Structures are given as structure tokens and as C-alpha cells.
Amino acid sequence: MTFPQVGRAHGAVRPSPVFLLVVLIAVAGGALAWDSAEWESWQAKLGVFIMVVAGWIVSVCLHEFAHAYVAWRAGDRDVEVRGYLTLNPLKYSHPLLSIGLPVVFIALGGFALPGGAVYVHSHNFSPRTQRILSGAGPAVNAVLAILLLVLIRVFGESAEYSNMPFWFGLSFLAFLQITATVLNLIPVPGTDGYGILEPSLSYQTRRSMDQIKPYGVLLLVAVLFFVPQVNQAFFNGIYALFTLSGVPEWWSVNGSILTRFWS
């Protein structure tokens, strides 16, 4: 595939004030959590809630930006016109469904529901580019999870249990990134995992699956929520991946509890 010149790419990517504001809010929440001496205090709970929710929105923006940037580099100019390269969360599909609903799911049950969506002309791309395009978003979540867990492992565990609300919240945010990575890679119509698989399917199969795409993610979430065996197997796998980092599982659990501060 042919890529535009690098200089042009630099001009196309313009982080919006909305995105920068969300980043600032996440940092402010982290600072509030950091200054909390007692991890069960209201200051700790509020700080972790702000850090996790705003941090999750930042990760949604980066996830969708990755899809859009790959599409733009492959020649889809509509992604720039639609504002996808600005990382503005309000540009990624419907603000309520793309941002509001996932945040509610995190606040209620610690579940990283897939967030926004960018509309790209993927049918114009080669199968290889389509796979890269679909895999770019989950790759961002995976990288974020690794970076957060390395940060926690290097600095958090050597903090001698000081500033623990901050490290608990960061651990939960890393857990959410792992959840988003795995969830998005499950090859159900409508997920990125299906997008990676789709170019290998026959035309007839793709047409049949197109009818399921609008509801695929909702069906997947419903199964995870209402089938206890699937729910348990899924989250056991997520925690198994989380603990590979050496960060204790209960750090993430405490972060989830702090995020749901009203519980």
C-alpha cells in the first residue's frame, strides 16, 4: 500500500483541546489519589474514580485513533475530514454509546465495554491492510497494559506501600486494558478480532455475518454477563494474564472497589 509523505502525516494529526482536557483530568485524578494517605478515604476514592474513568476515555481515543491513522495512511481521507485524527472522543461515533455507556459499565461492574467506533472505507484496502487496520486498536490497549504494569512493577512495588490508592487505581486501569484487548480480539462479528479474520472468509460468509455485526458486541457482552460459566472463564483468563506481570491480583481488585466509591 502507498503511504502519504511523513510531513503531511504530522500536519494531519492534531490532538484536540477536548482530548488534552481529558488527559489533564486523568492526571488531576491521579494527583488526588497520590496525595491520599488513607486508601479508604473519600479523597482516595474520588481521585481513583477520576483517574480510571478519564484514563479509560484516553485509551478509547488512542484505540480509535490507531484505527483511523492506519486507514489514513492507506489512503482514506475521510478519517481526517471526520476529525478522527484529532483524538477528540466526541468524534468517535455516538458520545453516549461510545463513551458514556462504557464508563457506566466500568463504574458499575468494572467491565471494559468496547468504546467508540470510526467509520473507514476498509473495503478499498488489501486483505493485509484490513488486518493491520483491525489489529491496530487492540494493539494499543495491549501496549498500554504493558506500560502500566511495568510502571507499577518498577515503581509501585518499591514504594513500600505508600501512595497505595494511586497504585491500586493504576492497576485497575491496566486490568481494563487487558480486558479490552482480549474482548476486542474475540472473533465475533463487530469486534476487531472478527475484522482480522474477515478478509479470509468467503464472500457468502461475510455477507451472512454482516447481518450480525450491529448486534455482535451486544450479544457477546450479554453472554459474558448472564452465563456464569463463560463469565468466570473469561475473567479467570484476564486475571491470569494480569498476574503474569508480577503485580498482585488484589491490587486491581482494590482499584475496582475504589472506582466504585459509592459501594
So where are the chain's domains? Answer: 17-259
Residue 201 pLDDT exceeds 60: yes
Q: Distance between CA 70 and CA 66 in Å, rounded?
A: 6
Residue 2 pLDDT exceeds 50: no
Q: Where are the alpha helices (DSSP H) in the chain?
A: 6-12, 17-34, 42-73, 78-81, 95, 101-109, 127-151, 164-185, 192-197, 203-210, 213-226, 228-243, 249-259
Taking only the tens place, the pLDDT of each residue in 214-250 is 788 888 888 988 899 999 999 999 999 999 999 999 9
Is the pTM here over 0.95, yes or no? no
Residue 129 pLDDT: 92
Residue 9 pLDDT exceeds 60: no
Picking from 63, 38, 43, the residue whose alpha carbon sits closest to that of residue 145 is 63
- Catalytic residue from among 38, 40, 64, 80: 64
Better pLDDT: 110 or 24: 24
Single-letter amino acid, residue 60: V
Single-letter amino acid, residue 117: A
Summarize the confidence of residues 14-18 as an average pLDDT: 92
Instruction: For the beta carbon of residue 204, count every other beta carbon within 10 angstroms.
Output: 8
Instruction: For the beta carbon of residue 244, count every other beta carbon within 10 angstroms.
Output: 10
Residue 225 pLDDT: 82
Read off the pLDDT band of 190 (50, 70, 90): confident
Q: What is the dihedral of CA 126, 129, 134, 140, to 10 degrees?
A: 180
User: Catalytic: 160?
Assistant: no
Q: Which three cell numbers stand for residue 169?
A: 487505581
Read off the pLDDT band of 4 (50, 70, 90): very low
